[in-house]
Amino acid sequence: MSGPLVYTYIPSGCDAIMRPCWFSPTSSVINGHTGKSLYCSRWNWIMTFLMCPLLHNYCPSPTSRRQKSAVTSQPYQNLDSSLTSKTSPEKSEKSEKFHFVRIMKEKTESTEHLLGDDGEEVTPKYSPRTGSMGSRVATFASILSLILLSYISIILTIDIAKRQSSTDNDLPYSPANSAIRYERRSVWGGHSKYSGPPSAEVDDAWEELLEGLNVRGTKEELTLAGANQTNIVQLADKTGYPVVPLVYHHIHCLDSLRKIHYIEYFRNLGYDTTVTEEHFEHCLETLRKQVMCHADLALLNAEWVKPSDEENHIELRTNTESKCVNWDSIQSWAMERHLVQGGYKVIAGPFDKKKHRVLPISIRLTFQLCGVSIVHELIMPETKTTEGEIPFDAPGAGKPCHTWYKVIGDLHGKKSTSSKVLPLITCHGGPGACHELLGPLADLNTQFGIPVIFYDQIGSGKSTHLREKAGDVTFWNEELFIKEIDNIVDYLGLRDGFDIYGQSWGGMLATRYATLNPIGLRKLIIADAPASVELEQKGEHILRSKLPKDVRDAIEKGEKEGTTDSTEYQDAITIFKRKHVCRIVPEPEELRIAYEHIKEDSTSVDTMWGGDVQEPTGSLKDWNIISELPKINVETFILHGRYDQVQDLAVIPFFELIPKVRWVTLENSSHVGFLEERERYMELLGGFLAGFPDSDSYES
C-alpha cells in the first residue's frame, strides 16, 4: 500500500451539481442545495499519516496490522467504526474485520483466504503427492499461485492508484461527467490573467470563468443526482430545471472574496458592495470543505533562494504536476446548456400566493447571499392608464403629424414641485424602436407611485410614419425630436416639474434636451448611452476584438461588402448581440417587438445611423455632446451594464463633466438592464427618482 489515502462518503459540500429549490414559506429566495455526496479523501486518515513521524509507536505499519497488541490496534479500531466502503455503504460484520481489504475496489476470495475468516493470518494447507509427478504438480501449483498472487497485487495496486487519482468512477453522478478530460500540469504559484489587482482585463477574465454558472438540467438528471424534487424550481417553459455545476459556485465564491478584498475599487465603479457576514462565512466554509475534500498531498520542498538583501530567504517550491481537469471541456459543456443570468423565468414557488405567476429569476454574483432571488412579473401592472395622440407640427413634414402616448398612473396628482415624485417621460432607443421596449419601467408606478409617460417617437410605433423622408438628413435630426419632447411637456402640462429618462439613442436625446435647461426639468437619467459616437465605437471595437476570429471576420466582411442581410453576417452579429446587447436567451418579447418595429419602418434609423450596420454612416456618426455636459444643472443618474456595447470609456465624460451625477454599473447586464436585472434596476431608478437617502451628496 502506498499510504492511508482512504475514501469515504461525506455530507454535501463536495457535490457536482447544485440545484435551486424553494425552501421557505416566508421568503421568496431560492437557495442552492445538494443531494448526493462526493467520494472524498478521508481527512482524519490523512492527518494520521502526517502525524506518524511524530507518533511512531502509535502508527501501525502494514506488517503489524494483524498483531493483537492493544497499543498498535487501537487507532485502527477507532477509525474502523466510521469507515464506509464505496462498493458497500452498509457495513457487515465481515467488512469490519477486513477493512484493510475493503479499501480496495474488489475483495477476492484469495485475499480473504490469506487473512482467514477471523482476521488471523492463515497458512494455506495442502498435501502434495510424493514422487516425481507430485513434485511436478506441486511446482506447477506454486508457479500458478505466484502468478495469481502477482496478478492480484497488480490489480489491487492499479485500483488504489485509480482511487488516488479520482477517476470518473469515483465521481458522483453528474451529466457533466462525460465532458471530463484530464491533463497533467503544475498548479503551484505563478501568475495568470486572473491574478493581480482588478482591471478591465482581469475582471473580464473572471466573468468568462463564470459564464457557465447557470445551466439547464433535466428531470432524469436530477433524479440520478439524488435531488429532492418536492419543492424544486422549474423553468417556466417546462424545458428543464435551473442547476449550477458546483465548481462554478466555488469560482463565484472566490470572485466574491476577490471583490471584497478590492471593495473600494468596485464601489467606485458603482457596484452594489453590500456584503453580509452570512455570505462571507458561507464562501469561506465552502472553500475550506472543498480543499480538504480533494486533498492534494503533493510535497512542497523548502529551497534557499538568492537573497535580495543581506538576509537569506526560504521559499516553498515543487516540480510535481497534478492531474487536472481540462477546463475548456467543462466550459464547452456548460455553454451548450447555458442559461443567461437573470434571463430566464421560473414557475412561481409553492408558497407564492399568486400560483399562476411566471417569474424571472436572477443569480446575483456580487456581495449577495449565494442563491437566487425572485423579481417582478413581466407584465404591465393593473393601474390607471391613459393613452391618446398629441398633434405635432413637425417642421418640414408636409402633412399633419401626431405623437402617440400612454400614461401609467395618476399624472395630475403629482405635479407639485415640493413632491419628491414627479412624472417621468421615457425616451426609447433606435431611432425607430418603440415604447414597448421600455414597458418594464411601469414597475416604477407600482412600487414608487411615479407616473410613467411612454411615447412613440415620430416615425415609429403608433406615431406618424414618414417613409417619404428617407435619406433626408435635414428633416431627421435632433431638433425634430427635441421639439417633440417639448410638445409633449406642454400638452400634458408638465412645466411645474418632471423628470426624463432616455435609453440608448433615447439617452443621447434626453441628454441633449437637458443641456437646454428646459423649464420644469428636475432630474435626468442617462441609460446605456454614449457621450460621443466616436467613443462608443472605440469601446465596441474592443469588444469585437474579443470575439472568435471567424465571428469578427464575418462581421467585418458584411459591413465592408454591404451584405449585412446575409445569413453569415446575421449569425455573427447575433453572437455579438447576445453578449453585449441582451444576454437573455430566448430574446425577451419587449426586444423582439422593438426589432419588428424597426424592420417594418427603418426610415429614421437608416437616415440617422446608417442601416443595419454596427459602423454608423448616417447623420449621427459625428455626434458628440461632451463640450455641452457642464451646462446640465439637474441631478443626473447614469445607468449601464457591465457587458454593455456602450463601454465605460464612452460613459466617463458624463461622470466627469456633469456637476451633480451618480453612476451605477449593473454587473449582470449588457445594453438592456431593465430586462436583464429588472428588480435591481427598478430599485436603483426608483430610489433616485423618489430621493436617495444621500440625495444631497453628489460626486463631481
pLDDT at 161 over 70: no
Any domain includes 232: yes
Q: What secondary structure letter does DSSP report for 90?
A: S
The pLDDT, as a whole number, for residue 258 is: 85
In the chain, how many domains are there? Answer: 4
Any domain includes 272: yes
Environment class of 236 (CB within 10 Å of its CB; exposed 0-12, middle 13-18, buried 19+): middle
pLDDT at 372 over 50: no
Can you give the three-state secondary structure of 35-85, one letter per residue? Answer: CCCCEEECHHHHHHHHHCCCCHHHCCCHHHCCCCCHHHHHHHHHHHCCCCC
Which residue has better confidence, 376 or 569? 569
Mean pLDDT of 469-496: 94
Any domain includes 260: yes
Q: What secondary structure letter does DSSP report for 235?
A: B
Measured between alpha carbons, how far is 372 from 113 in angstroms, rounded to an integer? 56
Does residue 324 sit in the same domain as residue 204? yes
pLDDT band at 130 (very low <50, low <70, confident <90, very high): very low
Q: Which of 23-27, 170-174, 207-211, 688-692 has the lowest mean pLDDT?
A: 23-27
pLDDT at 251 over 60: yes
pLDDT at 513 over 60: yes
What is the pLDDT of the chain when averaged over all its residues? 74
Any domain includes 655: yes
Are 198 and 266 in contact by the 8 Å Cβ rule? The answer is yes
pLDDT at 39 over 70: no
pLDDT at 98 over 50: no
Measured between alpha carbons, how far is 202 from 410 in angstroms, rounded to an integer? 47
Catalytic one of 463, 580, 644, 670: 644
Which residues does residue 427 pair with via DSSP β-bridges, in sequence order? 502
Active site annotation includes 606: no
The two beta strands, 521-527 and 498-503, are parallel
Cα 307 to its chain centre, rounded Å, is 44
Last-in-domain residue among 313, 344, 374: 374
The pLDDT, as a whole number, for residue 154 is: 60
Q: Which of 365-369, 440-444, 491-495, 600-604 has the lowest mean pLDDT?
A: 365-369
- Provide, rounded to the nearest whole percent, the portion of the chain with pLDDT above 70: 64
pLDDT band at 478 (very low <50, low <70, confident <90, very high): very high
Active site annotation includes 338: no
Which residue has better confidence, 518 or 203? 518
Q: Which of 160-169, 208-217, 219-228, 581-590 has the lowest mean pLDDT?
A: 160-169
Mean pLDDT of 182-210: 83
Any domain includes 26: no
Q: Which three cell numbers stand for residue 693?
A: 437617502
Measured between alpha carbons, how far is 129 from 137 in angstroms, rounded to an integer? 8
Does residue 514 sit in the same domain as residue 544? no
pLDDT at 523 over 70: yes
Which residues does residue 426 pair with via DSSP β-bridges, in sequence order? 501
Q: Which of 585-589, 593-597, 598-602, 667-671 has the lowest mean pLDDT?
A: 585-589
SS3 532: strand
Does residue 325 sit in the same domain as residue 216? yes
Does residue 367 sit in the same domain as residue 335? yes
pLDDT band at 220 (very low <50, low <70, confident <90, very high): confident
pLDDT at 328 over 80: yes
Q: 380 φ, ψ to 5°?
A: -65, 130
Mean pLDDT of 496-507: 95
Measured between alpha carbons, how far is 550 from 529 in angstroms, rounded to an integer? 29
Which residue has better confidence, 61 or 392? 392
SS3 654: helix
Any domain includes 526: yes
pLDDT band at 380 (very low <50, low <70, confident <90, very high): very low
pLDDT band at 201 (very low <50, low <70, confident <90, very high): confident
Are 690 and 387 in contact by the 8 Å Cβ rule? The answer is no
Does residue 673 sit in the same domain as residue 556? no
The candidate with the shortest Cα–Cα distance to 259, out of 361, 652, 343, 268, is 268
Catalytic one of 504, 602, 604, 670: 504
**How do the residues of the chain divide into helix, strand and coil, expressed in percent and rounded to 5?**
40, 15, 45
The pLDDT, as a whole number, for residue 3 is: 41
Does residue 153 sit in the same domain as residue 274? no
First to last CA, the chain: 69
SS3 116: coil
Does residue 321 sit in the same domain as residue 224? yes
pLDDT at 1 over 60: no
Are 539 and 649 in contact by the 8 Å Cβ rule? The answer is yes
Does residue 266 sit in the same domain as residue 299? yes
The pLDDT, as a whole number, for residue 587 is: 84
Measured between alpha carbons, how far is 400 from 402 in angstroms, rounded to an integer? 7
Any domain includes 310: yes
CA angle 605, 607, 612 (to 5 degrees): 50
Q: Which of 89-103, 248-262, 285-299, 376-390 has the lowest mean pLDDT?
A: 89-103
Does residue 516 sit in the same domain as residue 640? yes
Active site annotation includes 294: no
pLDDT band at 165 (very low <50, low <70, confident <90, very high): very low
Are 389 and 402 in contact by the 8 Å Cβ rule? The answer is yes
Does residue 259 sit in the same domain as residue 130? no
Residue type, 534: E
Q: Which of 98-107, 462-471, 652-661 has the lowest mean pLDDT?
A: 98-107
- Provide, rounded to the nearest whole percent, the portion of the chain with pLDDT above 90: 29
Does residue 333 sit in the same domain as residue 469? no
Does residue 419 sit in the same domain as residue 511? yes
Query: What is the pTM (predicted TM-score) of this model?
Result: 0.51
Measured between alpha carbons, how far is 178 from 167 in angstroms, rounded to an integer? 12
Which residues does residue 453 pair with via DSSP β-bridges, in sequence order? 407, 425
Which residue has better confidence, 163 or 629? 629
Which domain range does residue 206 map to?
A: 174-374
Write the CB contacts of 250 (distance below 8 Å, at least 6 apart in sequence): 286, 287, 290
The pLDDT, as a whole number, for residue 670 is: 93
Q: What secondary structure letter does DSSP report for 438?
A: G
Measured between alpha carbons, how far is 123 from 113 in angstroms, rounded to an integer? 9
Residue type, 48: T
Residue type, 331: Q
The two beta strands, 313-317 and 301-305, are antiparallel
Last-in-domain residue among 93, 127, 159: 159
